[in-house]
């Protein structure tokens, strides 16, 4: 599954505009790049339910050369079940994880996210997959994103709620709950179970 063309166009326009506004000093060219940013926001607003002013503010807030964002997810198995957390935002379940902070190694980011979202302490041991979010069944998203999936082992802690999550539980592959597909899809989870059954598999990548 690929992203719709309108989203590709909006992301590319925004990327060109952001780079232009970062490096260009000619005032007339800056006006043209600002107009490209406005067109990107208008495309996004036309195809989604998000208001134009909010989208404009999001795009204008991005600084520097545009690159994909990085989302790190933890894959923890216990008794052939995978750990998922329940998102408060949409009520769906997902692998624990989130954005990698500037200056933070991805493995440390996923360990932090697991602790914050599930209450468990874990250690990253293997990168199972590095995926382009656009290619794995997620709904459209304003920014181009790379998703990193780390196999992790439990080292302590206990299930807990957080400001973002409302529970943490282990689920069998044939009994998965309703997912927060903006974050985790069944396609990806089934592939993670393949890695459980075949630990010799190399890292997946797009």
Give 128-170 pLDDT, tens digit per residue. Answer: 999 999 899 998 888 889 999 999 999 999 999 999 999 999 9
105 contacts: CB under 8 Å, gap ≥ 6: none
Q: What is the pTM of this model?
A: 0.81
Q: Are 94 and 85 in contact (CB under 8 A)?
A: yes
Strand spans (E) along 55-144: 69-75, 77-78, 81-87, 93-94, 97-99, 120-132
Give the span between the Cα atoms of 41 and 50, in whole angstroms.
Answer: 10
Give the span between the Cα atoms of 41 and 61, in whole angstroms.
Answer: 12
* Terminal-residue alpha carbon distance, the chain: 13
Quote the mean pLDDT of the chain: 92
1 has pLDDT over 60: no
**For residue 72, what pLDDT is reported?**
98
Give 27-54 pLDDT, tens digit per residue. Answer: 888 899 889 989 988 998 898 888 898 8
Give the span between the Cα atoms of 128 and 152, in whole angstroms.
Answer: 10
Vertex 131: Cα angle to 96 and 203 (nearest 5): 90
Give the span between the Cα atoms of 80 and 174, in whole angstroms.
Answer: 11
For the segment 111-115, the average pLDDT, to the nearest whole number, is: 97
Please count the other Cβ atoms lying within 10 Å of the Cβ belonging to residue 84: 25
Give the span between the Cα atoms of 59 and 40, in whole angstroms.
Answer: 8
The residues with which 121 forms a beta bridge, in sequence order, are 156
Q: Which 3 state secondary structure label does DSSP give 58? A: helix
């Amino acid at each position: 599954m690929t992203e719709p063309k309108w989203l590709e166009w909006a992301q590319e326009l925004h990327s060109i505009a952001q780079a232009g506004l970062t490096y260009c000093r000619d005032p007339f060219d800056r006006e043209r790049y600002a107009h490209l940013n406005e067109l990107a926001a208008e495309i996004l607003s036309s195809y989604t339910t998000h208001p134009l002013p909010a989208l404009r503010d999001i795009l204008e807030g991005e600084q520097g050369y545009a690159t994909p964002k990085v989302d790190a997810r933890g894959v923890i198995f216990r008794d052939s079940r995978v750990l998922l957390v329940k998102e408060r935002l949409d009520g769906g379940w997902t692998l624990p994880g989130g954005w990698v902070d500037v200056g933070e190694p991805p493995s440390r980011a996923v360990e932090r996210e697991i602790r914050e979202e599930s209450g468990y302490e874990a250690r990253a041991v293997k990168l199972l997959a590095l995926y382009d979010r656009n290619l794995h069944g997620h709904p459209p998203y304003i920014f181009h994103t790379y998703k990193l999936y780390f196999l992790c082992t439990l080292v302590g802690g206990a299930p807990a709620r957080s400001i973002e999550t409302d529970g943490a539980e282990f689920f069998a592959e044939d009994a998965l709950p309703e997912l927060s597909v903006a974050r985790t899809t069944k396609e990806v989870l089934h592939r993670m179970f393949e890695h459980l059954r075949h630990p010799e598999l190399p890292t997946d990548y797009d």
